[in-house]
Structure 1
Amino acid sequence: MGAVFEARDSYSAENCSVKRALDVVGEKWTLLVLREAFYGARRFEQFQAHVGCARNLLSERLNTLVEAGVMRRVPYREPGQRERHEYRLTDKGLDLLPAVIALMEWGDRWAADPDGAPVEITHRDCGHRVELALRCSNDGVALTPRDLQPRPGPGARPAESA
């Protein structure tokens, strides 16, 4: 960012939104499960076919996402089969789409396949690629990292004295 968080040492790093988010989604397999959910996977077998982790690990990740309220289980039954569950993103989960797209954009730029992006996210109506942008909440102006200034928010807590 362009500016330094000048008061950083005055505030605790323990109450950190990034840390709390990573506690839920900061593991490789969890992010890959989310990627597949955004691509339309709903059933365990669909996730397993595309995520590439062991069944027990996938089950743990899905359970973690359900417990965190990022996904929900929806029962279904195929004729003649036992009841099973689909996994669907909640509003909380859908709010992670920009983070997943940001990781895709970063990967396409800095860890790219020589042939280019393996998947492009496009606008359904016009077919052009989607791009993430930082915008000012007041006037909608597009921002760069140099335009940003970190400052204490309402949840900032004073640092413990040494």
Structure 2
Amino acid sequence: MHAPIKVHMNALKRILRYIKGTVSFGLHINPSPTTSLVSYTDVDWGGCPDTRRSTSGYCVYMGDNLLSWSSKRQPTLSRSSAEVEYRGVANVVYEVCWLRDLLPELHTPPAHATIVYCDNVSSIYLTRNPVQHQRTKHIEMDWTYTLCMKK
């Protein structure tokens, strides 16, 4: 910003043209007959070609309306697809807990338990049976950290 050149001005103009063209875009929330939350999560294990880190993403729906979504590169390098999928599930569950705390304040408490969809069998097994094996000790440390942050 202290020494802009022509390339910077061209980038700024491109951003402003993009904003001008997308002003009418928005997120539409419509009335829905159901107030239950449903979430989906998926992970690309080791998908970043430079760092081999994984990218995780999730979306949370309330009825037909998208409430929350995220897609980001995970901060640590994972050893297996089960580990990275488990971390992805942990991220979406943390978000769902926050939404379930927020919705009653907006006078729309969720009616049922939240369903979390994940496509990795081993991470589903770990989620259902959280016995801490030697290979999952570092996952347990992340889980403990997440619980401490929630409090």
Task: Identify the TM-score tier after normalising by the shorter chain.
Answer: under 0.3
Which structure has the highest strand share of the two?
Answer: 2
TM-score by length of 1: 0.22
TM-score by length of 2: 0.23
